[in-house]
């Protein structure tokens, strides 16, 4: 459970990406996000290639790493990739909404699903987590008046569906990128 809690805290720290997009100009937030992406990608490379770094990494972050991440890129690296991709290619509002879904809704879905989830939908995904994602993402959309109520419901429900069906690929990529594409289409 300690590893799960630490992982969720790191996940919440990804709020730095949408907040930096809101606060700063692109010439500041894009290099900032690129710096984080480069740092996490470098750490992944080093843990695969340098034995001493792998030992250090495992000692400090081992509890937070999921089983499939032990031999592949971490969720944190994928999160930074998504943030960079969205910041580079999408309008600010779309990038911000999509990253808020990732930083907040995906995290809340995981916490609620793990602590209170009883009704399994697919693999380890639960109905309770799905509902938590939907509600939290809908609340996020309330801060964006350019979306009417139907678009808010649609994008929130779609985001929750994307998260549920992301079991074959990291949801740190699928949730924000597919949500951004849907937002781009409906706006």
What's this model's pTM, rounded to 2 decimal places? 0.92
51 φψ region: left (φ > 0), alpha (ψ -120 to 50), beta (else): alpha
pLDDT of residue 120: 95
pLDDT of residue 168: 75
HEC readout, the chain: CHHHHHHHHHHHHCCHHHHHHHHCCHHHHHHHHHHHHHHHHHHHHHHHHCHHHHHHHHHHHHHHCCHHHHHCCCHHHHHHHHHHHHHHHCCHHHHHHHHHHHHHHHHHHHHHHHHHCCCEEECCEEHHHHHHHHHHHHHHHCCCCCCCHHHHHHHHHHHHHHHHCCCCCCHHHHHHHHHHHHHHHHC
Q: Which residue has the tokens 């990608």?
A: 41
**How far is residue 150's CA from residue 132's CA, in Å, rounded to a whole number?**
19
Tens of pLDDT along the chain (187 residues) come to 777 787 788 889 999 999 999 999 999 999 999 999 999 999 999 999 999 998 988 888 777 777 777 778 998 999 999 999 999 999 999 999 999 999 999 999 999 999 999 999 988 899 999 999 999 999 999 999 999 999 999 999 999 999 999 877 889 999 999 999 999 999 9
pLDDT of residue 163: 96
């Amino acid at each position: 459970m300690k590893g799960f809690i630490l992982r969720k805290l790191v996940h919440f720290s990804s709020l730095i990406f949408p907040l930096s997009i809101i606060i700063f100009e692109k010439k500041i937030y894009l290099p900032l996000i690129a710096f984080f992406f480069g740092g996490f990608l470098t750490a992944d490379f080093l843990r695969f290639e340098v034995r001493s770094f792998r030992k250090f990494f495992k000692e400090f972050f081992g509890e937070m790493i999921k089983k499939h991440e032990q031999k592949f890129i971490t969720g944190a690296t994928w999160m930074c990739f998504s943030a960079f991709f969205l910041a580079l290619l999408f309008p600010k509002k779309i990038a911000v909404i999509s990253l808020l879904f990732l930083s907040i809704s995906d995290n809340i879905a995981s916490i609620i699903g793990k602590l209170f989830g009883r009704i399994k939908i697919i693999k380890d995904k639960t109905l309770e987590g799905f509902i938590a994602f939907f509600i939290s993402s809908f609340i996020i959309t309330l801060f964006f008046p350019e979306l009417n109520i139907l678009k808010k419901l649609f994008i929130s429900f779609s985001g929750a569906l994307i998260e549920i069906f992301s079991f074959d690929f990291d949801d740190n990529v699928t949730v924000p990128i597919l949500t951004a594409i849907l937002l781009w289409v409906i706006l």
